[in-house]
Amino acid sequence: MTVPIESAPRNHVLVVDDELSVRELLADALDAYGYTIRTAASAAEGYRIVEEGDTHLILSDIDMPGESGLDLLRRIKAHDADIDVIMVTGVVDVDTAIGAIREGAADYVAKPFNIEEVRIVVERTVRNRLLVLENRAYQLHLEEMVRQRTRELEESYEATLQALVTALDYRDNETQGHSFRVVEYAEQVARRVGVGEADLAWIRRGAILHDVGKIGVPDAILRKPGKLDPDEWVEMRRHPEMGYRMLRHIGYFTPALDIVLSHQERWDGSGYPRGLKGEEIPLGARIFAVVDTFDAMTSDRPYRRALSVDAAREEVRRFAGIQFDPRVAAAFLSIGDEIWAEIRARVRRDLDATVSRLRDEGA
């Protein structure tokens, strides 16, 4: 596949030499070969022409009064590395030629000129530069294709994730909308403890995935209308590890697994599954523990009515330093009640719209 590199050929050549006869000889020869030529009598004048733009290739004498051709070469490469410089030397000096090429020169020609040799060197240099630019454009094209494919894959993951969590929420009648509410709650708290945008995205994904392990919990336990007995609690408490095992081989979800595995840990070390304590618990999981408990307290259950937001906030305050990271609890408590109310209402609207759309599609 050939990727277009630019609409105009790279045929603008600048000849820099302090000898008028050399400038005229090279200019006439290259003009006859179809190049657009400008000339300069010094390195300083040549650089001014380059700054004006539209120079693709320079032939520059090395030995000139004032700034040398090597000085000009260094300035050109610092200005625009895609402008090629062919050095012109008065003697066949291999060391000088090698030194110039090490400084970034594309090639060199020696005086007295063989015009055919000059043509070959110029054409080879132009052709090589075009290949470099074509390869660069192709690489950029490939990188964009990879980015696009990655975006599509991420969107597919996210859509699958949303569908999975919606199904799980509707499987558990007690928690409809829970996973989507806690995602929004967790983002609010995470921002207030200084979590950056990149990590914030993974906290959102971990929050929405936190209960995915409940797929492995029997319906009789998950949908039980009353409180669980001790044996049932043992089964329910397996869901963080089950969720972790389900997702650990999907590399895309790896950064989100801290929340999946550790969202039931407690600040004092009495949580599960690993009994982590304090800052041993990943920050995302510490944030999630607060908002997960808050959502549970402010949601109706068959065996109890939801607490008011004020009462739930008081419980978070009371258990700071016991169940919750005190810093995270303080960040949560700094958020106004109207934020939580707006999130609950928005999630309810979104879920209703999703259910309505799915029903329409199935009709």
Above 90 in pLDDT, residue 259? yes
Q: d(Cα 257, Cα 263) in Å, to the nearest integer?
A: 10
Task: Give the tokens for residue 31.
Answer: 């003009």
Within the chain, which residue ranges are assigned CATH 3.40.50.2300?
12-143
Structurally, at CATH architecture level, domain 12-143 sits in 3-Layer(aba) Sandwich (3.40)
Within the chain, which residue ranges are assigned CATH 1.10.3210.10?
172-362
When pLDDT is cut at 50, 70 and 90, the band that residue 227 belongs to is confident
Share of residues in the chain with pLDDT > 90 (%): 55
* Between residues 72 and 53, the one the model is more confident about: 72
When pLDDT is cut at 50, 70 and 90, the band that residue 2 belongs to is very low
Task: Give the tokens for residue 300.
Answer: 């109706």
* DSSP code of residue 63: S
Q: Does the N-terminal peptide bond of residue 225 adopt cis geometry, omega within 30 degrees of 0? A: no
Which strands make up the sheet holding 12-16, listed edge to edge?
Answer: 36-40, 12-16, 57-61, 84-89, 107-110
Q: What is the mean pLDDT of residues 318-332?
A: 97
Residues 352-362: pLDDT tens digits? 787 677 677 76
Instruction: Give the contacts of 110 (CB within 8 A, at least 6 positions apart).
Output: 88, 89, 90, 91, 92
When pLDDT is cut at 50, 70 and 90, the band that residue 178 belongs to is confident
322 contacts 267 by C-beta, under 8 angstroms:
yes
Biggest alpha carbon–alpha carbon distance for the chain: 102
Above 90 in pLDDT, residue 249? no
Q: Is the full-model pTM beyond 0.75?
A: no
Residue among 292, 275, 302, 304 at smallest CA distance from 332: 292
Instruction: Give the CATH number of domain 172-362.
Output: 1.10.3210.10
When pLDDT is cut at 50, 70 and 90, the band that residue 4 belongs to is very low
Instruction: Give the contacts of 40 (CB within 8 A, at least 6 positions apart).
Output: 14, 15, 16, 46, 48, 49
**At 39, is the secondary structure helix, strand, or coil?**
strand
